Each structure stands twice: as C-alpha cells, then as structure tokens.
C-alpha cells in the first residue's frame, strides 16, 4: 500500500531522514547544514522521518531556519542533553524503567525545554511531515502525518527501539514500534508516489551494507511476536540493502541527493559520549554544506554550458 501523500507533490521534491539511534546526531547536524545553506523546509513538498531521524526532522520542519540562534538551540539537544547517562542508563533498570528514557527525551526536551513548535505543522506553507512507524499487530509499516496534536505521541512510537525502550507505544486502536523495523528507508515508496527529486540524509556511508539481525537478538526484540521477530531477522536487512542500492543507482528521471557520513561516525547507535556526539553533529553540518555547494556548482556549470550552446542575444544599446 502506498503512503497517502501523492496528492501533495508540486515540484516532486522530497526529503527523507534515516534513523540510526544516537547516530542521529549526524542527521541533526546535516539538517542544520541544509538550513544554513538556505535550503528551508519549504523547498520540499514532503518530509519523511524514520526512527531517530524523525526527531531531527521535526525540528527542521517546524523551525525558524533563517535564524542561526534557533538552529544552534535545536542542536543543543544533541550537543548537551543526550550525553553521558542523561538519556541512556542501565541504572534505569533498577527503577523498573528501560535503559532509554523516552519521557525525558520527548516530554521534557521536545515538549518543554527545547519545545518543538508543533502548531507550525498546520502552516500550509510548510511541507507535510510524515513519520514511519511499524504496526505490531498488522506487521505493516505505516506513514502517519504529524500534527500539532499527535506529534509527541508519534515520536514516542517512532523511537520505541526494542530492548532500549519498552519497544511499543499505543496510538489509537493500534500498537506501534520503531518504523525502521519494517521500513528502514522508504525511497521506493516515494518514487512510486511520483517524487523525482529526493534528498536522503543517511546515518551510514552510502555504500554501507547492513547485515542481518541475529535470530536470538530478533527474538529478544519481540519475544511475544514471533512473526515480527522473523521479519526483523529475515527481511529488514534486505530492505535496507535494497534502499541503499536504489539511492546509489536511481531509475531514469529520478535525481537523488545523498547526504551521508564520509566514513564511520564517531558515535555508535547507543553511544552517549559528549565528544563523539558533538563531533558527529559537526560532521553532519560540514557534510551537508559540502554536498549542497557542490550541487549548486554543478548546476551553474550546466547553465554555463547551455548558455554557450544557445547564446543569449546581445543587449541593444539605448
């Protein structure tokens, strides 16, 4: 089933932000780099976030991207608020809580201290923002449009990493888990919906090849849902590999801009070292700026070639 967003395309531009746990620090930096290079959310017709990528994408879509102070404030979440044991701590287990504290992340940070301006999701000038979640009961990926009313609950569902959190969140009539379980990078979905100019923010180098999740680990992620555990073990890595193959070899008529780390990031999926997180943010900013500037230079080069081929008429002297 195609996601219900094909009706919004005007210029066919889409932005997808991949998940990756704490490697999302790179995504946060990359989106800040887009904003600094005068690439606001209004440039796109749609923005789609997966897992931790949906958190940074939420700030990007709703933020004041022409303000350096606003961009720096959003990056404070990655630079200062997720370090050490603030977000992830095994000590939480002693108090009956999962290692990753979603209430601190979503309610305290996103909802209050660094409040996401949720009301801006109703602004018609901003692109619709979809977040990918995995339906535990139907075992299907769903694309849910974020609104001011549902955003925080949706972010909790999207970041319900198995083992690190309770691995599930109830929304309405269904229970959801991390969207990356069933749809790690929905590039093909967007192409099928008619989008032809796609920017993809990755948290791994573009030629990365994901390996299968182990059978035991898959069962530990979903001990009460053997079918979902089986899909995680047998299918998820194949979808991830297929998506990376597609972005490196897009079909005719589709242009894909890849913003990816130039190498392995300093921070791991569950890392919380302050220096590593800050380095990953800085790498994201620099990488996005570099790729966008190179893209602009290529466009200028093409325009110059076209002008030489079909010279403009000389101006008449008055």
Q: Do the beta carbons of residue 271 and residue 22 sit within 8 Å?
A: yes
> Is 105 a residue whose pLDDT tops 60?
yes
Q: Do the beta carbons of residue 111 and residue 102 sit within 8 Å?
A: no
Q: Please report, rounded to a whole number, the percentage of residues in the chain having pLDDT higher than 90.
A: 78
> Is 172 a residue whose pLDDT tops 80?
yes
Q: How far is CA 39 from CA 79, 244, 249, 282, 293, in A?
A: 22, 24, 24, 18, 11
Question: What is the number of alpha carbons within 13 Å of residue 180 lying toward its C-beta?
Answer: 25
- What gap in Å lies between CA 17 and CA 200, rounded to an integer? 6
> Each residue of 285-300: pLDDT tens digit?
999 999 999 887 776 6
pLDDT at 315: 40
54: Cβ–Cβ under 8 A, 6 or more apart, which residues? 17, 19, 131, 132, 154, 155, 158, 159, 179
Residue for token pair 């109830």: 170
SS3 189: helix
pLDDT at 303: 53
pLDDT at 1: 43
C-alpha torsion sign, points 148, 153, 154, 156: positive
Helical residues (DSSP H) of the chain, grouped into ranges: 24-36, 53-62, 68-76, 102, 151-158, 187-192, 215-221, 226-234, 236-248, 274-309
> Each residue of 112-144: pLDDT tens digit?
999 999 999 999 999 999 999 999 999 999 999
96 confidence band (pLDDT: 50, 70, 90): confident
Q: Do the beta carbons of residue 254 and residue 198 sit within 8 Å?
A: yes
Mean pLDDT (the chain) is 90
Token pair listed for 193: 């919906």
pLDDT at 136: 96
C-alpha torsion sign, points 221, 22, 100, 178: negative
> Is 281 a residue whose pLDDT tops 90?
yes
Pairing relation of β-strands 197-201 and 174-178?
unpaired
197 confidence band (pLDDT: 50, 70, 90): very high
SS3 219: helix
pLDDT at 230: 97
């Amino acid at each position: 089933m195609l996601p219900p967003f094909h009706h919004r395309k005007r210029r066919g531009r889409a932005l997808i932000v991949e998940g990756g746990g704490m490697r999302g620090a790179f995504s946060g930096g990359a989106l800040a780099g887009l904003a600094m290079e005068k690439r606001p959310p209004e440039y796109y017709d749609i923005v789609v976030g997966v897992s931790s990528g949906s958190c940074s994408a939420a700030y990007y879509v709703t933020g004041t991207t022409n303000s350096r102070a606003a961009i720096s404030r959003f990056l404070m979440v990655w630079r200062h608020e997720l370090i050490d044991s603030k977000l992830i701590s095994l000590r939480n287990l002693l108090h009956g809580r999962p290692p990753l504290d979603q209430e601190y992340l979503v309610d305290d940070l996103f909802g209050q201290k660094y409040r996401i301006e949720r009301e801006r999701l109703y602004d018609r000038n901003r692109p619709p923002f979809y977040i990918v979640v995995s339906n535990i009961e139907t075992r299907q990926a769903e694309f849910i449009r974020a609104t001011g009313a549902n955003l925080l609950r949706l972010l909790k569902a999207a970041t319900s990493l198995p083992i690190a959190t309770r691995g599930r969140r109830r929304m309405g009539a269904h229970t959801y888990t991390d969207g990356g379980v069933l749809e790690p990078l929905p590039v093909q979905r967007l192409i099928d919906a008619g989008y032809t100019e796609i920017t993809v923010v990755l948290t791994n180098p573009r030629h990365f090849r994901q390996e299968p999740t182990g059978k035991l680990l898959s069962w530990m992620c979903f001990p009460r849902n053997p079918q979902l555990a089986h899909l995680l073990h047998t299918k998820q890595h194949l979808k991830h590999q297929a998506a990376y193959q597609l972005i490196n070899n897009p079909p005719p008529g589709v242009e894909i801009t890849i913003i990816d780390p130039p190498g392995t990031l300093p921070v791991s999926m569950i890392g919380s070292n302050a220096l590593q997180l800050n380095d990953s943010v800085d790498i994201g900013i620099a990488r996005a700026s570099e790729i966008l500037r190179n893209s602009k230079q290529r466009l200028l080069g093409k325009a110059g070639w076209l002008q030489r081929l079909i010279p403009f008429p000389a101006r008449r002297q008055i």
